[in-house]
Amino acid sequence: MPHTSADFATLIADNDVHTVEIVTVDTYGHHRGKRVPAQRFIDTVAAGGAHIADAIYVMDITCDIVDSPFINMATGFLDMHIEPDVSTFRLLRHRPGYATVMTKAIDHKHEPHPLDPRNILQAQIDRVTKLGYDPIVATELECYVCNDDWSPVQDKVQYSSLVDNLELERCVADMRIALLDLGIPLESSNPEYGPGQLEINFSYADPMLTADNTLLFKTTVKEIARNHGHRATFMPLPYTGQSGNGMHVHTSLNQNGKNVFSSGDGHLLNDVFRHWVGGLVAHASALTLLGIPTGNGYKRVRPYSFCPTHVHWGGDNRSVLCRCTVGQGPANRVEFRGGGADANPYLLIAALLAAGADGLERQLDPGAQAEGDQYENPGN
């Protein structure tokens, strides 16, 4: 990874880069920022950063400005400084001539901007680290590939079929290639439980890298779909009566390079694992607010949709909110299944880390394990 101006100059020249995208993230998880000429990035922006209005944090998904006590006309909608995190510099090989880099937002007091989703996530990473653990996170998203008029590209469901609609596979293959070229650790792709619905999985990483990968994954999938004359949507429920698009988030904790959740004491969960899940259960309502940030997201929450409708934790059970994978040693983890695919990954991951950390700090207990069909017998 380049670190000096000379390093950037060499990388940019060797790959004929003419434009660098300076990226920050708004409240809804949308890439915003500026495109700068490559030479200006080398000479000025890599070390000196750029500026953007803090109004991006109070815009809704249509860019209407929402009333806020923090950022408004009285505060002046100030410029904020965005400093490139050079460790995130990537070539956009699927769009020759372009590169991208994430940034850290700094407010007018020269402090990390409190509304920057990356800063919010970093604060919770630091909180968990101070407890003696390294958080590990993976996301798992679904989307629909649609025709140009947003109609489904297929008229039937063929879950995980390897022979149905190979024409669409040519588009998906280009998605996989582009994601690998970006350094995203792709694992697999498969048709999901909706007509033209797709799931692409990539490996776990530290929380910030996972969030960066998740947002870049979404923008890249949309771009490649357009290149093939299609569209891609991560809307939680674009088609009534069909499967919804979720963002499942897997968390675990490492200590000295080993998964703390992997050791048991004769129970399904060891104490650390149990308290972590206890925090997720205790804060389920707040987590849902960040996991389902739009009205459409609640249309996805319905019985027998593979989306949880009540607050439970359990083992390998896809009807619970917190699905605990055990018996896999270093791969043991808890999957939070409540998020929609339109959630801001930085904020949802930050909330999960905050909830889990609170569970550890207060030694919260998640209660009894749920077993069986939690749609049929949801309890409280």
Same domain, 37 and 169: no
Q: How many percent of the chain have pLDDT more than 90?
A: 75
Q: Kindly list the distances between the CA atom of residue 298 and the CA atoms of 54, 71, 121, 339, in Å, as whole numbers in the listed order.
A: 29, 28, 24, 10
In this structure, is residue 183 part of a structural domain? yes
Q: Does the pLDDT value for residue 307 go beyond 70?
A: yes
In this structure, is residue 367 part of a structural domain? no
Residue 267, pLDDT score: 59
Nearest CA to 37 among 15, 12, 56, 14?
12
Same domain, 53 and 168: no
Nearest CA to 281 among 320, 312, 309?
312
Same domain, 138 and 109: no
Q: First CA to last CA across the chain, in angstroms?
A: 51
Same domain, 184 and 285: yes
Mean pLDDT, range 25-40, rounded to an integer: 96
Residue 163, pLDDT score: 84
Question: How far, in Å, CA of 302 to CA of 307, rounded?
Answer: 7
Q: Which residue among 80, 115, 150 closes a domain?
A: 115
In this structure, is residue 176 part of a structural domain? yes
Mean pLDDT, range 153-179, rounded to an integer: 89
CATH code at position 61: 3.10.20.70
DSSP reduced 3-state for 10: helix
Same domain, 189 and 271: yes
In this structure, is residue 96 part of a structural domain? yes
Same domain, 99 and 137: no
Q: Which residue among 95, 115, 135 closes a domain?
A: 115
Same domain, 210 and 282: yes
Task: Give the type of residue at 239.
Answer: Y
Q: Does the pLDDT value for residue 378 go beyond 90?
A: no
Mean pLDDT, range 115-142, rounded to an integer: 98
Question: How far, in Å, CA of 277 to CA of 313, rounded?
Answer: 8
Contact 340, 292 (CB under 8 A): yes
Same domain, 184 and 283: yes
In this structure, is residue 374 part of a structural domain? no
Q: Which range marks the domain in which residue 80 is found?
A: 5-115
Question: Which is higher by pLDDT, 239 or 263?
Answer: 239
In this structure, is residue 380 part of a structural domain? no
Residue 286, pLDDT score: 96
Q: How confident is the model at residue 64 (pLDDT cuts 50, 70, 90)?
A: confident
Classify strands 322-325 and 313-314 as parallel, antiparallel or unpaired: parallel
Same domain, 205 and 326: yes
Q: Does the pLDDT value for residue 265 go beyond 60?
A: no
Q: Which residue among 115, 150, 179 closes a domain?
A: 115
Question: How far, in Å, CA of 159 to CA of 162, rounded?
Answer: 9
Question: How far, in Å, CA of 338 to CA of 357, rounded?
Answer: 19
**How many domains, the chain?**
2
Q: Kindly list the distances between the CA atom of residue 332 and the CA atoms of 90, 308, 315, 325, 328, in Å, as whole numbers in the listed order.
A: 31, 21, 11, 5, 5
The pLDDT tens digits for 180-223 are: 999 999 999 998 999 999 999 999 999 999 999 999 999 999 99
Same domain, 77 and 157: no
Q: How confident is the model at residue 370 (pLDDT cuts 50, 70, 90)?
A: confident
In this structure, is residue 373 part of a structural domain? no
Query: In sequence order, which ranges of 236-344 are alpha helices (DSSP H)?
Result: 271-282, 284-291, 295-299
DSSP reduced 3-state for 27: coil
Q: Per-residue b/e over 115-146, b at no fewer than 16 CB within 10 Å?
A: bbbbbbbbebbebbeeeebbbbbbbbbbbbbb
Question: How far, in Å, CA of 179 to CA of 288, rounded?
Answer: 29
Assessment of whether the complete model's pTM goes beyond 0.75: yes
Q: How confident is the model at residue 160 (pLDDT cuts 50, 70, 90)?
A: confident
CATH code at position 351: 3.30.590.10
Mean pLDDT, range 26-42, rounded to an integer: 96
In this structure, is residue 313 part of a structural domain? yes
Same domain, 134 and 56: no
DSSP reduced 3-state for 367: coil
What is the tally of helices (H) and strands (E) in the chain? 10, 15
Same domain, 161 and 68: no
